[in-house]
Structure formats: structure tokens, C-alpha cells
Amino acid sequence: MSSKESSWKYADDLVAETPQIVAARAHAAEVGVESVSPAIGSQLGVIAAATAAKSIVEIGTGLGVSALWMLRGAPEATITSIDTELEHQQVARAALLDAKVPANRIRLITGRAGDVLPRLNENSYDLVLVDADAASVIEYVEHALRLVRRGGTVLVPHALWKDKVADPVQRGETVTDFRTLIAELAASEAVLTALSPAGDGLLQVTKIVG
């Protein structure tokens, strides 16, 4: 194991997940849905807490791991989560309710994000998590930046895409899209951007103009 992999493992092993997150992670693994790593999940919780988030949009519900982490950090927040898989959302809802998240703070929308996002109000959300359909990541981040308020943050897990983004030898449309996204945001004066290498990467983008 490389020193980098050892550091990642150490960061993951350091995290103590709640029983609800552990169960949601296990359910996701059973059905082949990739969840954020524990280290990334804890970062989501820290960012949600640090921003005192009250309104969150999640693109890609999965089985609820990311939502549970964000709401652990921001327990007063309302979450709107979008996914095409109704059954997965039902499992996620049960996990959130088991974690004592009030039902009126959970809004699950079953549908394609590309159809749903244009209907959400711009400049209205504190956090937007983009974790669905990597082939559409640029489109979804554009929507996310429209939705967050000034000072709001867009979070993009898996931004290093299986360790391929940082390797110049690697090609492919998804890898190229992530490289383009990261480079353009880093050069933009409208946002502040940070890229964490933990897990499979977490791109953090805070809107400072608009």
C-alpha cells in the first residue's frame, strides 16, 4: 500500500459513522450504488455545519449516505434530493426518518435532474451536492451554481474520478469533463474553489459573486 493510500485509509478509519449511516452504506453496497467514503462524508458534515446550512439540494439520492452526513452537520436544514430511482429514495427516506430527521424537512423528487433543476429557484440554497450521472457533471454544476445563494457552496464528490483525473495519461470523456470543470472553476473570479484528495476527491466551490 502506498503512503497516499495509507493516508486515505487512515482518514476513513478515523471517522465514526452513526448506525443509520452504517446501515445505509451497507444497503448501497448490496445494490451496487457507490457511496461517498467516510472521510468525504465527514467533510460534507463539517461543511454543512460550518455554513449553518438551512436549505440543501442533493443531485443523486443514492441510499441516503450523503444526506445523512449533511443533515448530521446541519440538523435544522431542509433537503431536496433528486434521483431517478424511486426504490432507492424510499430506502433513503426510511434511513433519514430513522435518524430522527422530521418528515417535513425531507423532499424527495423522482426524476431526471436535467428536468428537475431548471424548476428550482435560483440563489435560494446554502448547499448543493452534485453526485449523479458523471457524464452530466458540467451541466449539473452549472445548475448548482445558479441555485446557491452568494456565499453558498457546491460540493462535487468523486471529482478525481477513480484517480484518473490527475494522471495525464488517462483519457475519456468523463475524465476530460472533470478536468475541464476543475480548471474553469479554479480560474473563475466568481467562485472560490478547493479540491480535497481524500476518498475519490471532493471539489468544493463557494459562490462569491452573484
**Predicted confidence (pLDDT) per residue in 39-62, tens digit:** 999 999 999 999 999 999 999 999
For residues 137 and 177, is the Cβ–Cβ distance under 8 A? yes
- pLDDT of residue 171 exceeding 80, the answer is yes
**Predicted confidence (pLDDT) per residue in 25-45, tens digit:** 999 999 999 999 999 999 999
CA gap 20, 95 in Å, rounded: 6
Rounded to 5 degrees, what angle do the CA atoms 92, 60, 28 make?
50
**Predicted confidence (pLDDT) per residue in 109-146, tens digit:** 999 999 999 999 999 999 999 999 999 999 999 999 99
Band (pLDDT 50/70/90 cuts) for residue 1 is low
